[in-house]
Amino acid sequence: MENQNQPQFGVPIGLQYRLAVADAVPSSYNTAQYLASNASTFNSSNNTIRINVSSGAFLDLKNSTLQMDVKNTTSTDAVFLDGGADCSLISKIRIISSSGEEIERVEEYGLLSNILDQYSASDGDARIKCLQKGAPKYNDNTPAFPAASSGALATGAKTAASYRTGISVSVENTLADGTANKSKVDLVGVGGIGYDQRQADSLNTGVTRKYQFGLKCGFFNPSTNRLLPPQTPFQVEIQLRAAADALVNLAGSNAVNYEVSNVELHIPNVVINDPQYMNLVNQRLMSGISMKSNSYDHFVNTSASGAGKDVVQISARARSLKGLMSVLRVQSRISSDDDFKISKRSIQYINRFSYKVGSQTYPLDACELSTDVTAGGTAAATRLPNAATADLNVAEAYNHCLKLFGNLNNSNANCQVGVEAFAQSENNNGAGILAISLQSFSDGSVNSGINTLNNLPISLEVQKTAAANAILQIDTFSVKELVIMRDANGVLSASS
């Protein structure tokens, strides 16, 4: 029988003085550098980089970084990176075991990396990624403010000021009082555009910069931060993009080009200096171990020009399919070096969407949205939303994105995309995507995605608007559980 005199309360960790801080197992730490086995000056034609990794230490994959020198070899013209060095330049990453088995493949890696930067990173992350890889420096968060007017100016100086922002403009009229040529100053602010693709690094012709950034494929991001055991060799294969698909030449007319050199993979190495503990670890490794992470498969489709219903088939096969996200872009822009095509996209082409897995529709009632349906999308340099924007409806579609990336109803949510970028067109700073989470539970403690290994039909159903006046390319990424196994001989294999 429960003791009625026993206090019925929980003790906060701040009062649990019995807890002690334990020393870690004796160890040493350093960062090893792994060079490209086919070291060269790489470009869009010599575009495959291979890095072999083998170590007698434990490898901290989560904190590894890829380093490279990027040079603009375009004749005369400066170029922009499209979302950062990895987003612009990397087309595909493969992880290959010592037996030659493909452990992981991420197609359209740069596009995926940019989406993850935009939808799962904070403003502080933006400053870090600017330094690491030349990603956009900051969001343009200039606040909106009402008009302020000086009235007609007589001789002398007058100002127009906005009290809330502190912004002011001063003009001096040197004409004599009473003349007909008086001046007037008006000041108004509609607010900043938010996520701004042009804040990415720009390189003049001949300029080289060194970047070093983390990798987003599942192999380098194990869910439990588990270290890769010693004597587990693998190869990283990186494929670079065609130059026109990678860089942006806004001001010039020359065809863009680039070079990548001095490629290194930096991985922290941890050596355990306790022989007794290492004997226990080696015994455990003889039984084989496994790690899990999130990985991504890529599917590409097109949709013909014109309004109306369209159905896109997605052959996503996974033991645990956790979610889907789709990118809509005008196909002709994807290989145009005059455009941002990796960090820009738009949802203005549709006003209704749902994903279908088997016979089940997600969400149960199709998600409806409304933004500008002008042919081709909102015209360049036109702001959205503003006081004249009627019937804007993007909150539900945005919330589906937040749930997929773990930011819905999270007080510490990390997302760089606000209403302007989410609802805008490719002509401006559009960065909206379609997304759905398929997990029953989202706390990460269990895998609760949908098993689609039995060839369940999967599709995206959309209702296109008049904005879709050109052929659209629809890139869909599936989010899936990836399990990586290491056998007693140190050979890796994978299942998903």
At 6 the pLDDT is: 57
- pLDDT tier at 447, thresholds 50, 70, 90: confident
What's the pLDDT band for 181 if we cut at 50, 70, 90? low
Strand pairing partners for 172?
157
pLDDT of the residue at 191: 81
Q: What is the per-residue burial (b if ≥16 Cβ within 10 Å, else e) of 265-293?
A: bebbbbebeeeeeeeebeeebeeebebbb
Between residues 5 and 276, the one the model is more confident about: 276
For helices 109-119 and 123-133, the axis angle rounded to 10 degrees is: 150
How confident is the model over 23-43, as a mean pLDDT?
Answer: 93
Of 317, 343, 362, which is closest to residue 478 (Cα–Cα)? 317
- How many helical (H) and strand (E) elements, i.e. helices and strands, does the chain have? 7, 25
Q: Give me the pLDDT at residue 459, please.
A: 98
Which is nearest to 369 in space by CA: 301, 432, 417? 432
Summarize pLDDT for 223-243 with one digit per residue, the tens: 888 899 999 999 999 999 999
Report pLDDT for 276.
Answer: 94
Q: In terms of DSSP H, where are the helices of 120-257?
A: 123-133, 243-246
All structural domains of the chain, each given as residue ranges with its CATH number in brackets, are 27-140+196-495 (2.70.9.10), 144-190 (no CATH)
Segment 351-359 mean pLDDT: 97
170: its two tokens: 């001063």
Tens-place pLDDT, residues 193-212:
899 999 999 999 999 999 99
pLDDT, average across residues 372-382: 94
Can you tell me the mean pLDDT for 304-315? 97
pLDDT tens per residue, range 384-441: 887 777 889 999 999 999 999 987 787 678 899 999 999 999 999 999 999 999 998 8
Task: Return the pLDDT at 327.
Answer: 98
Per residue in 151-173, pLDDT (tens digit) is: 666 656 566 666 555 666 666 66
The one-letter amino acid code at 239 reads Q
DSSP string of 312-362, one letter each residue: EE-----SSEEEEEEEEEEGGGTT-TTS--SS-B-STTEEEEEEEETTEEE
Q: CA distances (Å), 175 to each of 64, 181, 342, in order?
A: 66, 7, 52
Strands (DSSP E) along 63-111, which ranges?
65-72, 79-81, 90-97, 102-107
pTM of the predicted model as reported, rounded to 2 decimal places:
0.91
Nearest 5 degrees, angle CA 29-CA 33-CA 39? 170
Other C-beta atoms closer than 10 Å to the C-beta of 108 total: 21
Q: What is the DSSP letter of 370?
A: B
